Amino acid sequence: MHPFSFTKAANTREALNAGRAGGRYIAGGTTLVDLMRETVERPETLVDISDLPLREVSVTERGGLRIGALVSMAESAAHPKVRSLFPVVSEALELSASAQLRNMATIGGNIMQRTRCTYFRDVTADCNKRDPGSGCAALHGYNRTHAILGASDQCVATHPSDVAVAFAALEATVHLLGPDGERQAPFADFLLRPGATPDHEQALRKGELITAVEVPALPRPLRSGYLKVRDRQSYEFALTSAAVALHIRGRVIREAKVAAGGVATVPWKLPAVERALIGERPSERLWAEAARHAVDGARPLQHNRFKVELLKRTVERQLRVVGGTK
């Protein structure tokens, strides 16, 4: 581990000043410290933000949900409003990591976490994300867990977060506070596809803090849920996952929010699947037909062709579960 200095921000102003001076925020520390130990990350100054007042979960005036950036994954998952309004968020969190990690880890840190690509985490391997211009060892290496969607010839690493898939499906907004004041970023614009600059992962400006994630109100009744497919049943990242929310009234699907995880460089919204569902009546045939669109544009690599079929089946199954025809 490289030497670094450590400071604890007593309030938001102190945090922003330290961030503007180049300090790196640390919340639960469950992933940043690992990366520092492996020397993948070498921040000179850590700014502990854990005392900032960003620990509230609240229902917005319109009936959406606002989750403070420092609310732990465990608290968010267990919160009665999160459970009742958006079970897909609770389920995505509960299927993440381990109980111990979920107690420490925060919502802000979760969406900021970096890829689990083994070449990224191995400082002896070529990785454009870690060391721009060095190449991508995964492209022709062992790429079983890598992306089939949203990749570039520079990077094929997946985004590992589960709850980010639920936020992408629900079209959440990220609330940010920086030296120039507050702003909001649609979730779809916050996490960046690699393109030619895989080292630019989030639309975060220098010194900016995530203060909250807001899930917008959706028409009720709303059924939602998260399915995660992985090599073992616990403590493992997704091979594929599906976040689904459906508003069904008069036996017709009026709203559909769907996204996939484990398969793309960012949480992957599935607008073609949503379009195929809206205005239709739930049926076995509909789930299968809509799920076919989940892999539109997929470009599998040598070792992850199985993800194409697996993703279709994951989405189909979760549509069936949430749509109530199982």
Nearer to ligand FAD, 114 or 293 (CB): 114
Task: Quote the tokens at residue 110.
Answer: 């979760």
Kindly report the CA angle at 110 between 232 and 175, in degrees rounded to 5?
150
Task: Quote the tokens at residue 132.
Answer: 């721009």
Distance between CA atoms of residues 242 and 235, nearest Å: 18
Within residues 35-54, the interface with ligand FAD by CB under 6 A covers 49
Within residues 225-254, the interface with ligand FAD by CB under 6 A covers 237
**Contact stretch for ligand FAD (CB under 6 A) within 106-114, 184-192, 276-284, 301-309:** 106-114
Within residues 254-313, the interface with ligand FAD by CB under 6 A covers none
Residue 91: closest CA among 161, 170, 163:
163
- The footprint of ligand FAD on this chain (CB under 6 A) covers a number of residues equal to 30
Q: By CB under 6 A, tell whether 318 contacts ligand FAD.
A: no
Q: Which of 9, 18, 23, 28 binds ligand FAD (CB under 6 A)?
A: 28
Task: Quote the tokens at residue 138.
Answer: 């995964």
Q: Which of 18, 97, 185, 212 binds ligand FAD (CB under 6 A)?
A: 97
Q: By CB under 6 A, tell whether 76 contacts ligand FAD.
A: no
Nearer to ligand FAD, 105 or 139 (CB): 105
Q: Is residue 152 within 8 Å of 194, Cβ to Cβ?
A: yes
Nearer to ligand FAD, 109 or 225 (CB): 109
Q: Is residue 151 within 8 Å of 143, Cβ to Cβ?
A: no
Nearer to ligand FAD, 238 or 276 (CB): 238
**Tokens 């403590």 sit at which residue?**
235
Nearer to ligand FAD, 155 or 166 (CB): 166
Q: Which of 36, 112, 191, 277 binds ligand FAD (CB under 6 A)?
A: 112
**Contact stretch for ligand FAD (CB under 6 A) within 57-65, 93-101, 284-292, 311-319:** 93-101
Task: Give the start-end residues of each E strand in the chain.
Answer: 5-8, 24-26, 45-48, 57-59, 65-68, 173-178, 181-186, 209-215, 223-229, 240-249, 252-261, 268-269
**At a CB cut-off of 8 Å and minimum separation 6, what does 274 contact?**
256, 257, 258
Q: Which of 209, 259, 270, 290 binds ligand FAD (CB under 6 A)?
A: 209
**Minimum CB separation from ligand FAD for residue 249, in Å?**
32
- The count of residues in the chain is 326
3-state helix, strand, coil in the chain (%, to 5): 30, 25, 45
Binding site for ligand FAD (CB under 6 A): 24-32, 34, 49, 69, 73, 96-97, 101, 104-106, 108-110, 112-113, 160-162, 209-210, 237
